[in-house]
Chains A and B, each alone.
Chain A
Amino acid sequence: MAKKKTKKPADPHGEFRGQRTEADQERRIVIDDAARTPTVLYFGSGIFWLLVGSLFGIIASLKFNLPDWLGSSAALTFGRIRPAHLNTVMYGWASLAGAGMIVWLTARLCRIQLQLAWVHYLAVILWNLGVLAGTVAILAGYNQGMEWLEFPRFAGAMIAVGFLLFAASIIQTFRKRNVDHLYVSLWYILASMIWFPFLYVVANLGIYQGVIQAAMNWWYGHNALATWFTPIGLAGAYYFIPKVIGRPIYSYYLGLLGFWAFALFYNWNGIHHLVGGPLPTWLVTVSIVASVMMVVPVMAVAVNHHLTTVNHFRMLKFSPTLRFVVIGSMCYTAVSVQGSLESIRSFQEVAHFTHYTIGHAHLGVYAFLSMILFGAIYYIMPRLARWEWPYPGLIKAHFWMSIAGIGIYVIALTVGGWFQGVQLNDPAIPFMDVVEYTKVYLWARSIGGALMVVSHFIFAFQFVMIIKHAGPRRFAPALFRESAPMQREEREP
């Protein structure tokens, strides 16, 4: 009896399960191998643009504090540096890093090797050349004059072709998939493969003039978030939160309901940017209604992610991925509710044309999307590079500096921007008094921005180290704290 006990595993299906486990491991390794180079290229170039874009951002911010600084160079004036910052972080950092996450996630979720992997080399080259050419053109003074569409058309065309090549590979991988059911992250990814190229090409057609051009501009500006950046963030959150915790998403039904409600309501939102503008009132009102209705998909996501994480918050002490992604997901709820409020006319009477809007934009693109991308990269890279992050202390520094930076930034601009709006609405207060009032908040903005810039360089350093397999080799995961709550014995080398 005793002999039998020592030979047989406790699990009656242990032997079979062991074979399956090895097969699963091998399958994942083969899938990761096929996606490795494209994913790393997207991540690497995304991080490069993050550094460039952050430097443009801090220069633009400091110009509010020191208006004469770098004023003698036309290329470094606020009117050029600011759109250069916006376009490099959106089409460089967020888009390329997001593309990397999508490549890896699609292959994993379709349980098949990445198809047409070679097109990604061409896509990365075209995409990067497009961002480079567009940025140089903006700095040289060539600009289409529409927010989010500043890149000249030839640069936009390169990005569009790069995106179409990227999308072709993702769609082909989906067509060859080894699973019947589409996980909710895949819904968001596939939708963005159709929505975004469609949006980008239509917006760049150049057939719009006058009021229609303004309407198209904000239809595009807001839908770039709806059709590309938000789906990237939500696809990541729906995968990494349950995966890292080891617990299925709380309500899968709610997840799909959230996706279809998102698809129904989000694309109507853009025109709320033109409240008070020369557009038919009904058009703006429809947009405001749709913006408020966004509460439905946002709450579906918020409830789902919160109830998946509840009772597992202690894991935030350990896992860098989970901490970045959960913070990002919480900020998605915050920025979306704030966005619904901001669309309302009476709210816009105060907040529109103030620093409040800039705080809102950074809450979305940085605190929501970038945090999720950071978390995704911390999860994906060790599995692709076969090398752990060498310095967990630097992950901690990255996290705290970026979270402190964005916290200071958003709070300062939200509070300062709101009171700026209140004062601007009061004809008794001279305009220059309002400008003086905002100065302290603008310094806080620069301090927050500087913290984020430093954190990006730390992140980039770690990325280079993991690519080069440099630094101390770790056989255990790089966690915020060494003593993980479970699986301790499995982590020993």
Chain B
Amino acid sequence: MSLPFAAIIVIIIALVAGALALSAFIWAIRTKQFSIEQLNRGALLIFDDDEPVGTPQDMVFTDNSTHGKKEDEKAG
């Protein structure tokens, strides 16, 4: 039984996709993306010292407004 051309193409593509997914997973393990240490601090990545945990970010608008004012002043 011979496979239609489209089926051969799709099977090859599926194998490549599977290999990519597997290599991404292996990469993640090798770089310790799932280590306990990284998982414990991963959630804190979106915060830093001037946007810390405990500060609602939509209530603060100081950085850019100050920066903008400085530029405005420079522009005269």
Contacts and interface: CB of A to CB of B under 8 A. Distances in A.
23 contacts: A21-B50, A24-B48, A179-B45, A181-B38, A205-B9, A207-B5, A207-B6, A209-B6, A239-B46, A243-B51, A246-B56, A247-B53, A319-B59, A321-B58, A383-B64, A386-B65, A388-B61, A476-B61, A477-B59, A485-B59, A487-B56, A490-B62, A493-B65
Interface residues of B, number: 46
A483 to B, nearest CB: 11
A313 interface: no
Interface in A298-332: 315, 318-322
Contacts of A255: 43
A319 B34 contact: no
A379 B58 contact: yes
B55 A246 contact: yes
Contact of B56 (A21, A179, A191, A315): A315
A169 B59 CA distance: 32
B60 interface: yes
From A252, A319, A479, residue with most partner B Cβ within 10 Å: A252
Contacts of B68: 386-387
Contacts of B41: 181
A141 interface: no
Given A202-B10, A386-B67, A245 B56 contact: yes
Contacts of A484: 56, 59
Given A24-B50, A256-B39, A382 B61 contact: yes
Contacts of B51: 24, 243
Interface string A181-218: 11110000001001000100010010111001000000
Contacts of B59: 318-319, 477, 479, 484-487, 491
A244 interface: yes
Contacts of B61: 382, 388, 475-477, 491
The A interface, classified by DSSP as helix, strand, loop or mixed, is helix
A interface bracket (residues with beta carbon within 8 Å of B)? 35 or more
Interface in B23-45: 24-25, 31, 33-34, 38-45
B53 to A, nearest CB: 6
Interface in A232-271: 239, 242-249, 252-253, 255-256, 260, 263
A180 interface: yes
Contact of A25 (B7, B20, B50): B50
B73 interface: no
A29 B64 contact: yes
Contacts of A202: 10, 13
A383 B13 CA distance: 41
Closest 3 interchain pairs by CB? A386-B68, A248-B43, A21-B50
B60 A25 contact: no
A28 interface: yes
Interface string B1-27: 000111101100100010011001100
Contacts of B9: 205, 207
Contacts of B34: 256
A179 B56 CA distance: 23
A29 to B, nearest CB: 6
A477 B13 contact: no
B71 A386 contact: yes
A20 interface: yes
A246 B63 contact: no
